Every structure is written in C-alpha cells, then in structure tokens.
Amino acid sequence: MRRDDRSVRVLFSFPHKLGADRICYTAWQQVNGLAAAGAEILAFPGVLHRPVPSSVKVRPTLAWGKLRVSYKMLGTMRALALHDHIVARRLKKLAGQIDIIHTWPDAALETLDVARSLGIPTVLERPNAHTRYAYTAVREESKRLGIVLPSDNEYAFKTDVLEKEEKEYRKADYLLCPSDFVLRTFVNEGFPPEKLKRHQYGFDETTYYPDSSRARSGSKGLTMLFAGDCAVRKGLHFALEAWLQSPASKNGTFLIAGRFLQAYADRLQGWLSHPSVHVLGFRNDVPELMRRSDVFVLPSIEEGSALVTSDARGSGCVLLVSEAAGAICKHMENALVHPVGNIKALTEHITMLHGDRSLLERLRNASLSGIQEITWKAAGMRLLDVYREVVTAKNGAAATAA
C-alpha cells in the first residue's frame, strides 16, 4: 500500500455481511467514508454484500467466490469466532503493513491478542451501549410492561455473549463510542475516559433530503413519525402515551412505520387504535414518509447512535428524542431532547411544537443548516482523525519506551 505522511493503513475486520442491513450498513458506510477521507483500507468482512470503492482491498473470511459459510447453519456465534480466528491467522503475516486494526463485537478476541503481540493498536466498535446496561435496561422496562422477550431476541439476557464482549472491552486498546450516551454507559461501568474515543455515524444525503416544495401550514395538524423496530427498547410506548396526552392528537397524525414484537403490539393495542395513530407496518418508503412529516420521535431507552435520527434530520424533520437515542443534535437549538422515560417532558415538547409553528420552523431551519456535519463523509473524516490520534499515541509511547 502506497502512503503519504498522513495516510493510515487500516485493517477493518467486520464479521458479518458488509453492506447488508443494520450494523452491516453502518460498517459499509464507514468503509466508504474512510476511503473518501484517504485511509488505506484492507477489509476483512465475513461476506462482501455490496461493492466498496476500488481503492479498498477486500479479502472475505467466510466466502470464497460464490461459496459462503451459512451463519444460520453454523450458528452465528461460531461463525463470528471462525471469522476472528481467520483474521488473527492472517494478521500474523501482516506485521509492519498495518497501522491500526478496527474490530467489531463478538469477533475480536484472537485478533486483539495477535495485534497486541505485534504492537499494533486496536479499536473496538461499540454500535450500542455497554451490553450489560442494554440487557438490564430492556429487561427492566419489559418487566414493567409485563412483556416477556423471546429467548432469541437480541436483547434477551445472554450471559455467554456478555462475558465474551466484556473480555473484548478489556483487550481492545480503545472503544469507539458513537454518542455521549454510549460513552457514559462505559464510564459508569468503571472504564477510564481515556480508553473511550468519540466518533460518529452519518446519513446518506442522496437518499434523505428535504422536500423544499412542501407547504407547511399552521392550520394543519402536526405530523409525527416513528420509524424502526417497534420494540420496548425504542420507547414507542412513551411516544404513544405522550402523543395522546398532547392536544396534537386532536387534529394531528402519528405515523408508525416498522415491525412489531407481537406481545408489544398486544400491550399497546388501546393506544394504537386511536384514530390519530396510523400503524403502517414495515415500509420501503421511509425517506418519503420523513419528507412528509414535521417531527421524528425516538424516545429510546438504549441505543448506540440511531442512524434513523440523522436520516430524519436530513429529510427535514425536527427531532423529538431521548438522551439515550444518541442523536447528533442540541436541545432547543435544532431539536428537543428529553430524559429517558420522561413522558411529561415529551408531552410538553409535542405540545410546544403543536402550538408554536414558528418554533417548529426555527428548529427545522437550524437542523437543516448543519446537516453537512453529519453525513457519512463527515463521519469518515472524524473516524480517520480518531485513527490518527490512536496511532500517534501508540508511536509516542513506543518512542518513550525506547
């Protein structure tokens, strides 16, 4: 790999299908953003699901041509361990060719050990809060609602997963935290702040953009949108209760796009049947729904940094989010932010925007004026800066030791 004085040679180890949905999309956009920012990337995905820039060298671990390891048949945790083993074995041959290694959860233990033996600094992505916090928060809120999570739910308490991830936390040189909320959950678990590095996620401005031709009339009711998994951790029940307590529900519309956990839908049925609430199910037209909406609500009890909040900002929605949503925004500057589970505060925020359209427009304009700071390109530049900080610190420590 050819390099200049500020280039960074990155081994990007991602154990899933790079470019698929959810964290697979996040990782894919990170690779794109890093490449655009000038990083030299050697990517080891489990499977390459979507093309990456030509400058990125890709060597899948769980795919050979059209032949792929089945995550389902092998078992996800075994597949992730296999990826980790393959990356660690390859890494032993790359001494002197890599400046930093970017790993992902549940697939890093062997890689981190080999990296340490070779003196290569490592970062571990934290797409969500500390796993112990996430499990506990979701379990307690589910219990309060009288909902039992299925055993295969990703937030059902899994001791083996937690133990493995906590080993990874300790072994990685740094943890990448995409929001202040995530960072706080690690500080509260006793991690030193200097081990935690803040970066950010982004949004695709070619897909999520505002409708400049849409007329916004104060005589029309407020349109509020929720989009995502309709599950306990997203706090949809808080949004429904606040909406129905607000006068906005009298002539406004609350759109809900996403799949429901059945037990959760049953628990919320009384609220969901209100004439102002429209349950849309899973939708492929979320960008258009955002462009049609005034407000995007996400009162999560646990997140990493919900991508959908930046998508909504890019589409022209004003954010109504909890402190745990990890949204890139500032209260009363370009959004309204409430404490987790504070229905009274969320009700007041909905009511404020319902009754004061000038406030709604001011927040919207302020939000849109800053969207170039939250694109995936901006996220890639920030992540590359973090890499440089880590590499510089490692080199400085090595020089001091010598």
The C-alpha atoms of residue 396 and residue 380 are separated, in whole angstroms, by 24
What average pLDDT score do residues 248-274 get? 97
**pLDDT score, position 66:** 84
3-class state of residue 204 by DSSP: coil
In a domain? residue 307 = yes
Is the predicted pLDDT of residue 399 greater than 70, yes or no?
A: no
Question: pLDDT class for 151, splitting at 50, 70, 90?
Answer: confident
Note whether 382 and 312 are same-domain residues: no
48-62, 63-77, 179-193: lowest mean pLDDT where?
63-77
Decide if 283 is inside a domain. Answer: yes
Residue 133 shares a structural domain with residue 170: yes
Q: Are residues 119 and 237 in the same domain?
A: no
Q: How far is CA 45 from the centre of its chain?
A: 18
Q: Which tokens in the block code for residue 190?
A: 């006793």
pLDDT, one tens digit per residue, over 209-230 is 999 876 555 558 999 999 999 9
Task: Please give the helix or strand (H or E) that residue 286 lies within, else none.
Answer: helix 286-292
For residue 130, is it within any domain? yes
Shared-domain flag, residues 75 and 195: yes
Residue 394 banded pLDDT, cuts 50, 70, 90: confident
Assigned domain for 213 exists: no
How much is the mean pLDDT over the chain? Answer: 95
Identify the three-state secondary structure at position 88. Answer: helix
Same-domain pairing of 331 and 394: no
List CB contacts of 54: < 8 A, sequence separation 6 or more. Answer: none
Structural tokens at position 387: 């890499």
* Residue 215 domain-assigned (yes or no): no
Where residue 356 sits, what CATH number does that domain have?
A: 3.40.50.2000
Q: Are residues 361 and 396 in the same domain?
A: no
Tell whether 40 is covered by a domain.
yes
Torsion angles phi and psi, residue 43, rounded to 5: -100, 130
Q: Is the pLDDT of residue 245 over 90?
A: yes
d(CA 232, CA 137): 10
Q: What pLDDT shows up at residue 218?
A: 53
In-domain check, residue 262: yes
Q: Decide: residue 40, CB within 10 A, 0-12 exposed, 13-18 middle, 19+ buried.
A: buried
pLDDT of residue 7: 86
Do 390 and 315 share a structural domain?
no
* Co-location of 151 and 19 in the same domain: yes
Instruction: Return all residues near 202 (Cβ < 8 A) that are at least 6 apart.
Output: 29, 33, 310, 374, 375, 376, 377, 378, 379, 380
pLDDT tens-digit readout, 187-204 = 999 999 999 999 999 999
Percent of the chain with pLDDT over 90: 91
List, as own/partner pairs, every contact residues 325-329 make where C-beta atoms lie below 8 angstroms and the sequence separation is at least 24, other chains included: 325/181, 325/298, 325/299, 325/300, 326/178, 326/179, 326/180, 326/181, 326/182, 326/300, 327/179, 327/298, 328/179, 328/200, 328/373, 328/374, 329/367
Domain that holds residue 52: 9-202+376-401
What crossing angle do the helices spanning 343-355 and 357-369 adopt, rounded to 10°?
100
Do residues 145 and 165 share a domain?
Answer: yes
Model confidence over 290-337: pLDDT tens digits? Answer: 999 999 999 999 999 999 999 999 999 999 999 999 999 999 999 999
Same domain, 235 and 110: no
Whether the pLDDT of residue 340 is over 50: the answer is yes
Q: Which helix (H) or strand (E) holds 55?
A: none
Number of domains in the chain: 2
Confidence of residue 4 (pLDDT cuts 50, 70, 90): very low
In a domain, 209, yes or no: no
Same domain, 74 and 59: yes
For range 162-173, the mean pLDDT = 98
pLDDT score of 238 more than 80: yes
Predicted confidence (pLDDT) at residue 156 exceeds the cutoff of 80 = yes
Average pLDDT over residues 143-162: 93
Asked whether residue 300 falls in the same domain as residue 229, the answer is: yes
- CA distance readout (Å), 299 to 103, 142, 306, 339, 358: 29, 15, 11, 9, 23
